[in-house]
Chains A and B, each alone.
Chain A
Amino acid sequence: MDASHLVEVSGLILGSLLLLLVGGVWIGAALLICGFIAMQFAPAGIQLGAALATNAWSGAASWSLAALPLFIWMGEILFRTRLSDEMFRGLAPWLNWLPGRLVHVNVLGCGLFGAVSGSSAATTAMVAKITLPELKKRGYNERIALGSLAGAGTLGFLVPPSIPMIVYAVAANVSIIQMFMAGLLPAVIVMGLYMGAIVVWHLMNKDQSPPPEPRMPFRAKLKETLNLIPLALLILTVFGALLLGWATATECAAWGVLGALVIALWQRALTWKTFIDSIMGATRMTSMIMLILTGAGYMSIAMGYTGIPNALASWVDSFQLSPYALIAVLTIMYVLLGCAIDGLSMIVLTTVVVLPMIQQAGFDLVWFGIFLVLMVEMAQITPPVGFNLFVLQTMSGRDSLTVAKAALPFFFLLLAAVAVLTIFPDIVLVLPRMVYPG
């Protein structure tokens, strides 16, 4: 395919996709239709419908994908427990010495919750429902409280388990486990950046911080810390099962569900009704994601038949952009996209076209997955469509502009994290390579 024809055809496909999506057609259906359009440019004689069915079946009937509904279910169960309240009480006594004090609970709490929830909005909501009122009561600056929550809530995506990581892993045909492992160190870096920024802000605005909490005797502190035990045990169960050789990486999800059920039963937070609700909630979300994955899978093989992505990659390659320039261009594109569309759409809309370019430029697909997850995180806190902003807007009663402004510094910190990971890609890749050679 020559360059002009190539641009025409890919423009037609992506244009139709955008039109259908903006027009309110369900994401999965829109992708199916665009896959069908792309298939018209495949070599003659290919059975389009049969290819769709085969691809959908082998994509859905997948052992490793079965971790997805289990992780969602685990989140659904935990949301019905008192875990976030306990988390606050367990962390708070230890942060008094640090400039910024209890604001750090937002960051640490979201990091911990990120480890049991695959969603950013859920992580934000679970932590915010406790910390927002507590911080307000103590007279903390609302702007820093809201901003840090918005930013840290996105850790729900970067700390495994993570829904966008699973969607990306399927779309890019990389290992879900490698993606999960790859997120851990970047999450530590993001948390470090956030906490550093909170410290700096408080050192510069000493008058805006409430007086320290009354000193608590060490024993009392320890006693409060016991509140962290259920959450710690849950995280230990999931990772312990993996490291001790009880479970493969996918099976960890089942241990997570078991742990969540035990906590919920222990806290008497589970009735038959909430139990069934948690199952059905998880099932519906699985269905929803599966339709999108199926559509994305079809579109991706349709593009594979046409050879467009590879041709497009060579075309972009002909501009001789340096890898850093390519990443810079993609970052700008994703930030703009991320203002208006949600993270899952962003992934499925772009991976087909972008991945071959990325490979051509010599980037690792797992590394790019983390880059993309960070872009999705940024999209969560940019207006007009930013789901973390929506959650906090609702929970704080502030208007969206206030929340967005409060979140802006944290948006730039995420951008800084992207720069760090681009310059030192090994931070992303060292863990997945260690756990998962080959």
Chain B
Amino acid sequence: MSTADPRHSVFPEWLRKGLDALYLGAGYLGGIFLVAIFVIMLSLSAGRPLGIDIPAGDDFTAWCMAACAFLALAHTFRSAELIRMGLVIDRLNGRARHIVEIACTAIGTVAVSYFAWYAIDMTWTSWKFNDVSQGVIAVKLWIPQMAMAVGLALLALAFADELIHVLFGGSPRYEKPPVSNDEELIERIMESGA
């Protein structure tokens, strides 16, 4: 692994840049939905004494929650913040590590693609059945469900992207480089939710 150049890419430059921008863009979109959760919840709460209600505000919050979490998945993966256990693999080096990384990325690609496929299928079925939400406002369910389908599809794409990258000898970009200082280490631990 140590010989591989982390920036080495099997894709042409424009495709590489396009994919990375796609993951990042979806991540920012997820961030916007986080702010939306904040705004809706606060309006629901602060609106009550003022006599203002957001009809189906609970539904909209729930959909923003799903959108926030799923749209940012690919960006989170590429920022090396989807957690995995390092107990054993961190002790491996060179060829053994490379093989394990290929296996992990391949398993991840299969699992996530399966999930993404059925998320798309669910959204498509909602559209076909003309499913609507059950609250005060009837919203066509395929619209909020799109966020989950798109987010998972992007994650599957990012996984496949990494798999190809690692197969062709690149070093994984879903792994952060070893920590260079203490603050970084602490920040990493905090990112793991521990």
A residues in contact (CB < 8 Å) with B: 20-29, 32-33, 36, 49-50, 52-54, 56-57, 60-63, 65-66, 69-70, 73, 79, 119-122, 125, 163, 241, 246-248, 250-251, 253-255, 257-258, 276, 279-292, 294, 340-345, 380, 385, 387, 390-391, 394-395
Contact = CB atoms under 8 A, between A and B. Distances in A.
B107 A25 contact: yes
Contacts of A387: 189, 192, 194
B27 A73 contact: no
A63 B114 contact: no
A283 B72 contact: yes
B76 A288 contact: yes
24 contacts: A25-B84, A25-B104, A25-B107, A32-B111, A32-B115, A50-B125, A52-B118, A60-B69, A61-B63, A66-B41, A66-B61, A66-B65, A246-B45, A246-B48, A283-B34, A285-B81, A285-B193, A286-B69, A287-B82, A290-B73, A292-B83, A340-B87, A343-B194, A395-B182
A247 to B, nearest CB: 4
Contacts of B34: 69-70, 73, 279, 282-283, 286
A276 B28 CA distance: 9
Given A24-B88, A387-B189, A61 B111 contact: no
Contacts of B86: 24
B160 interface: no
Contacts of B122: 50, 53-54, 57
A281 B68 CA distance: 12
A193 B79 CA distance: 40
B44 A251 contact: yes
B112 interface: yes
B119 interface: yes
Given A56-B119, A122-B190, A287 B65 contact: no
Contacts of B18: none
Contact of A29 (B49, B72, B112): B112
Contacts of B82: 26, 28, 287-288, 291
A77 to B, nearest CB: 11
Given A283-B27, A287-B72, A390-B189, A119 B194 contact: yes
Nearest to B125: A50
A60 B148 contact: yes
A25 B109 CA distance: 11
Interface of B: 27-28, 30-31, 34-35, 37-38, 41-42, 44-46, 48-49, 58-59, 61-66, 68-70, 72-73, 75-76, 79, 81-89, 100-101, 103-104, 107-108, 111-112, 114-115, 117-119, 121-122, 125, 144-145, 148, 182, 185-186, 189-194
B27 to A, nearest CB: 7
Contact of A57 (B58, B84, B114, B145): B145
A163 B83 CA distance: 15
Contacts of B37: 66, 69-70, 254
A385 B90 CA distance: 13
Contact of B192 (A66, A286, A342): A342
A121 B46 CA distance: 33
A395 B181 CA distance: 11
A246 B49 contact: yes
A246 B114 contact: no
Contacts of B193: 119, 163, 285, 288-289, 344
Nearest to B148: A57
B46 A52 contact: no
Given A286-B68, A395-B186, A254 B62 contact: no
A336 B104 CA distance: 26
B45 A241 contact: yes
B194 A121 contact: yes
A423 to B, nearest CB: 29
A26 B182 CA distance: 25
Given A23-B100, A61-B63, A69-B34, A341 B114 contact: no
Given A24-B88, A63-B58, A394 B186 contact: yes
A114 B194 CA distance: 13
Q: Which of A49, A119, A280, A282 has the most CB of B within 10 A?
A: A280
